A and B are shown apart, each in its own frame.
Chain A
Amino acid sequence: MRRSVLVVEDDQDLSSLLEMVLADAGHRVRTAPDGRAALAAVAEEMPGVILLDMRMPVMNGWEFAREFRARYGRACPIVVVTAAENARLRAEEIGAEDWLAKPFDLDDVLYTVERQLAGGDEGGAPTRSLH
């Protein structure tokens, strides 16, 4: 079975939109409204890629990333979805494989997810430009 995409996002509208778009493209999508729910979803089944919002209630993206790495290492790539001024910096901060800056292009979302599912870049460090 194809590995799933885990969308960790507290905004319900954004979360269901990402779910819809990714499902339309043939991905199996699971969602979690915060870091803690995401950890539970990961424990249940390791996804192929995690789309991670940073500012969330209960457990934010930083805490989730730290906890995830501690438990599973680099078992699955993390793509930071952030409204920060500099998305790349944010990704580097938590050692994420890639990033999407809000507001994003849907094509970018699909491209990034496909790329990370396929194994990402050599070395795993984010290298592409924001634009």
Chain B
Amino acid sequence: MAAYALVSLLWIAFSDALLVHLVPDPVLRARAQTVKGAFFVVVTSALLLELIRRGDLGLRTLGAEVRATVDSMVDAVLLVDEEGRIVETNRAAVELLGVAAKEDLLVPLRDWGRRFDLRYLDGTPVPYDRYAAVRALAGERIKAYDAMARRADGTDVYFSVSAAPVEGAGHRRLAVAVLRDVTAARRLDEMREEFLATAAHEFKTPLAVVKAYAQLMQKRAPGDPGLTVIQRQVDRLNRLVQHLLDTSRLRLQPGEGRRDTFDVSSLVAEAIEEARPSTPGHALEAEAPAPAVVHADRERILRVLTSLLDNAIRFSPAGGPVHVRVETQDGEVVVSVADHGLGIPPERQPRIFERYYRAHAGTDQDYGGLGLGLDMSREIVTRHGGRMWFESVPGQGSTFHFSLPLAAQEAS
């Protein structure tokens, strides 16, 4: 552009001087000047046109390259406009959802969700206002969460979705959603869980035989303490196996599960009675001033209690009181299990709800366990609409709490 300006300037300055020398006749010179001016206009117009054409071509090339890039991306991309319409997508999306062409996906997002039956992993439909792209249109950046959809051929596909707002041309707001196919990983997970469940299941028949024979021998010749120990250890082994079964079942069958109406206080009493014989060194106490009726899966809540009691006992090896309190407040019941045991080192506290994580692993305070109890417990409680949390001071002990909505509250 600068070169063009310089050349033009020089041309204007010197062309007239040149003409004076070349054409002495003023009449002829005036004509020549007209021709020169016209020539100048034509040449500069052509030059400008060429420059514009090149710029435009560059832009168009860029546009095509961006489109080709989006199209070659491994992850599915949906570009959604302010009205919630999908305005651009890519090949990966076509493949992910098994449709014939991109045009099949360029529809309002709401219709898209309905057609492909967009669901969370537990099978509940994702409400429209929770769609990643819809939230992104409102300015939110959505980190990956897992969802599933039904492909055109009827099979389910699992993906993780993330989305971000995009500032379009002329302040037009857009949202870009990226869907990463995680079906293969999910299948592998399912196989692993299925294997765990089968293995745990297979353990139970031999456990049943050992336990029953120990009982039979004890009935016939009472007094041998070894037979009691065998039964106790079988029960312990069974609890571990049950944990494996529980966690894998929970993962394989997301969703609500069954519901019974029962009193949490009496369930606490039951859990304590069950735990007491195996731990004479601990004083297990329950404090439940009033009944707290909930609408929940009784077996699973019992497992949560058993698991928390198990931890409290295991991690207070010196014995001492284990205190279980049942309180009702604001439409929910809060159960707290407190021990005076080892406590959890602060740096390990953030990870204790992770599956397989064992806070005391590799320390001289490793009292065993599979690292499944808390993960499972929290999963169960969360599915019932409750929360789980804890306080812990090393050397003083830990208190684990969980809440459940009270039955009356839930119904209202």
Point out residues on A near B: beta carbons under 8 Å. 11, 13-14, 17-18, 20-21, 55, 83-86, 88-89, 102-106, 129-131
Contact of B216 among A21, A86, A103 (CB under 8 A): A21
Q: What band does the interface of chain B fall in when counting residues whose beta carbon is under 8 Å from A?
A: 20 to 34
- Taking CB as reference atom, which chain B residue is nearest A87? B299
Contact of A130 among B197, B216, B258, B299 (CB under 8 A): B299
Instruction: Report the Cα distance A20→B220, complex, angstroms.
Output: 12
Contact between A103 and B242, CB atoms less than 8 A apart? no
Contact between A85 and B216, CB atoms less than 8 A apart? no
Contact between B242 and A14, CB atoms less than 8 A apart? no
Contact between B205 and A11, CB atoms less than 8 A apart? yes
Instruction: Report the Cα distance A103→B238, complex, angstroms.
Output: 8
Contact between B204 and A102, CB atoms less than 8 A apart? yes
Contact of A17 among B203, B216, B242 (CB under 8 A): B216
Residues of A with C-beta under 8 A to B352? none
- Taking CB as reference atom, which chain B residue is nearest A12? B209
Contact of B299 among A20, A55, A88, A103 (CB under 8 A): A88
Instruction: Report the Cα distance A14→B207, complex, angstroms.
Output: 10
B interface, over-half SS? helix
B304 within 8 A of A: no
Instruction: Report the Cα distance A11→B202, complex, angstroms.
Output: 11
Q: Give A23 Cβ to nearest chain B Cβ, in Å.
A: 12
Contact between B245 and A14, CB atoms less than 8 A apart? no
Contact of A85 among B208, B245, B270 (CB under 8 A): B245
Contact of B274 among A11, A88, A131 (CB under 8 A): A131
Contact of B302 among A20, A84, A131 (CB under 8 A): A131
Contacts A55-B201, A131-B270 given; does A85 touch B242 at CB 8 Å: yes
A-contact 0/1 string along B195-235, CB 8 Å cutoff: 00100011111011111110110010000000000000011
Residues of A with C-beta under 8 A to B314? none
Contact between B201 and A14, CB atoms less than 8 A apart? no
Contact between A85 and B197, CB atoms less than 8 A apart? yes
Residues of B with C-beta under 8 A to A89? 258
A interface, over-half SS? loop
18 CB contacts below 8 A, A to B, read: A11-B205, A14-B205, A14-B209, A17-B216, A20-B216, A21-B212, A83-B202, A85-B197, A85-B242, A85-B246, A88-B299, A103-B207, A103-B210, A104-B211, A106-B212, A106-B219, A130-B299, A131-B274
Residues of A with C-beta under 8 A to B245? 85
Residues of B with C-beta under 8 A to A14? 205, 208-209, 212
Contacts A85-B242, A106-B216 given; does A17 touch B209 at CB 8 Å: yes
B249 within 8 A of A: yes
Contact between B249 and A17, CB atoms less than 8 A apart? no
Instruction: Report the Cα distance A89→B245, complex, angstroms.
Output: 14
Residues of A with C-beta under 8 A to B135? none
Contact between A103 and B204, CB atoms less than 8 A apart? yes
B298 within 8 A of A: yes
Residues of B with C-beta under 8 A to A129? 298
Contacts A55-B201, A131-B274 given; does A103 touch B211 at CB 8 Å: yes
Please provide the chain B residues from 291 to 345 with a CB less than 8 Å away from any CB of chain A in the complex.
Answer: 298-299, 302
Instruction: Report the Cα distance A89→B260, complex, angstroms.
Output: 13
- Taking CB as reference atom, which chain A residue is nearest B235? A103
- Taking CB as reference atom, which chain B residue is nearest A83? B204
Contacts A103-B238, A105-B215 given; does A83 touch B274 at CB 8 Å: no
Residues of A with C-beta under 8 A to B216? 17, 20-21, 106
Residues of B with C-beta under 8 A to A55? 201
Instruction: Report the Cα distance A13→B208, complex, angstroms.
Output: 10
Instruction: Report the Cα distance A76→B204, complex, angstroms.
Output: 27
Instruction: Report the Cα distance A1→B246, complex, angstroms.
Output: 44
Residues of A with C-beta under 8 A to B210? 103
Q: Give B204 Cβ to nearest chain A Cβ, in Å.
A: 3
